[in-house]
């Protein structure tokens, strides 16, 4: 009985962490598929895709994408809404302020 309680406790403690890791991988793949299949990007132009999670933030998950031809710009995608994956925000790594007209990979979804 004691071993069962220990195993149940371990599973209970690890489940939330596993859920976050699985969701992060799912959202990264969802955005990668969107960029390649729906937006016709070549995989080579996508420098990095990384899902972030914040416990108290809303939305709690977002995906940061950096393109190899624009390595100073981080595009933020919110992968929750399957009808609208487009980048909702952007920032530059060095703090430079760019308008959406200056960005190569920003598409308005209004």
| Amino acid 74: pLDDT | 92
Residue 85 confidence (pLDDT)? 67
User: Which is nearest to 68 in space by CA: 94, 93, 43?
Assistant: 43
Q: What integer pLDDT is reported at residue 81 of this predicted model? A: 67
Q: What is the pLDDT of residue 110?
A: 42
For residue 52, list its beta bridge partners: 62
| CA-to-CA dists, residue 21 to 10, 16, 84, angstroms | 17, 9, 23
Predicted confidence pLDDT, tens digits, the chain (110 residues): 788 888 888 888 888 888 899 999 999 999 999 899 988 999 999 999 999 988 776 678 899 999 999 999 999 888 876 666 666 778 888 888 888 888 888 875 54
Instruction: Find the DSSP H helices in the chain.
Output: 2-33
């Amino acid at each position: 009985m004691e071993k069962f309680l220990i195993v149940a406790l371990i599973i209970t403690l690890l489940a939330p962490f596993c859920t976050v890791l699985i969701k992060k991988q799912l959202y990264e793949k969802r955005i990668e598929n969107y960029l390649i299949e729906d937006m016709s990007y070549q995989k080579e132009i996508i420098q990095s895709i990384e899902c972030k999670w914040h416990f108290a933030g809303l939305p709690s998950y977002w995906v940061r994408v950096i393109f190899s031809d624009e390595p100073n710009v981080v595009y933020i995608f919110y992968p929750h809404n399957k009808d609208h994956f487009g980048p909702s925000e952007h920032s530059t790594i060095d703090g430079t302020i760019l308008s959406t007209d200056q960005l190569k990979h920003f598409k308005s979804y209004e």
